[in-house]
Amino acid sequence: MYEEGLHNHIVKLLKAGVRLDGRKLLDYRKPIKVEYGVSKTAEGSARVHIENTDVMVGVKMEVGEPYPDMPDQGTIIVGAELTPLANPNFELGPPGIDAIELARVVDRGIRESKALDFKKLCIKKGEKVWLLLIDIIPINDDGNLIDASALAVLAALKDANFPKYDEKTEKIDYKEKTDKKVELTKEPIAVTVVKIGDSFIVDPTTEEEKVIDTRVTISTKKDGSLCAIQKGGDMPLTSDEIMQMVDIAIEKAKELREVL
């Protein structure tokens, strides 16, 4: 009953062009801040604040064997840890469906945009490649973890330096970082557009997320071209609605790109 009442209340507000916190429908909360190099142990790290939503990301690097079908390519492995520290509704233990979805949506934006040239992560074809282990750790969940996490992952990759690797001994010296950076050929920005009733909004709070009808996360490159789209929620969308959401995402991505 509470959520039904909240849904009806939010729908009425949105029809009037305003939201629970006073924002317009397509406004991000402010400030949006990106901090680089927040971890002394990770090879790259970043922290993103979208007002009270706070996410940290660390990038660790390991050397391993390539996949048999990609003998000359390294890869990324994205994981998310949602703990009660960030939101009391999160539970300790193995990753739940929300954590898995968050990691997969962020991974897809990076991977499908070809942001990384995985061939440049190859050390010796068929034997040794770099594996980039990306950990997403929300500190405080006040809504819109997907956009905050995707932005933090991109910032952490920009911050990352390779550790020293001895090819003869096949050992990594994590205490000594090299000047070699992770090369990003693209910088995909993820924007999640939410539909509640007949209205579209961006950057939902936790209260708004309780009553979402459907959402679409759209990752775009700097030139506005699409690289990944992921839908969530139960309600269907028309092709016209999807195009409206894509247009919104392309425009709002310019705003997020500026903070990098």
- The top-level CATH class assigned to 21-259 is alpha beta
Element (H, E) at 198: none
Highest mean pLDDT among 92-101, 133-142, 165-174: 133-142
**Among candidates 196, 141, 212, 144, which has minimal Cα distance to 18?**
196
What are the structural domain ranges in the chain?
A: 21-259
Predicted pLDDT at 167: 87
Spatial neighbors of 134 by CB under 8 A, at least 6 apart, are 57, 58, 59, 76, 77, 78, 79, 106, 107, 153, 156, 157
| One-letter amino acid of 113 | S
Given a contact cutoff of 8 angstroms between Cβ atoms, the answer to whether 220 and 188 are in contact is yes
Tell me the per-residue pLDDT of 232-250, one tens digit each, with 9 for 90 and over: 988 999 999 999 999 999 9
Pairing of strands 75-80, 128-140: parallel
> What is the C-alpha separation between 29 and 44, in angstroms, rounded?
26
The pLDDT confidence band at residue 21, using thresholds 50, 70 and 90, is: very high
Helices (H), the chain: 2-15, 97-112, 145-159, 206-209, 239-259
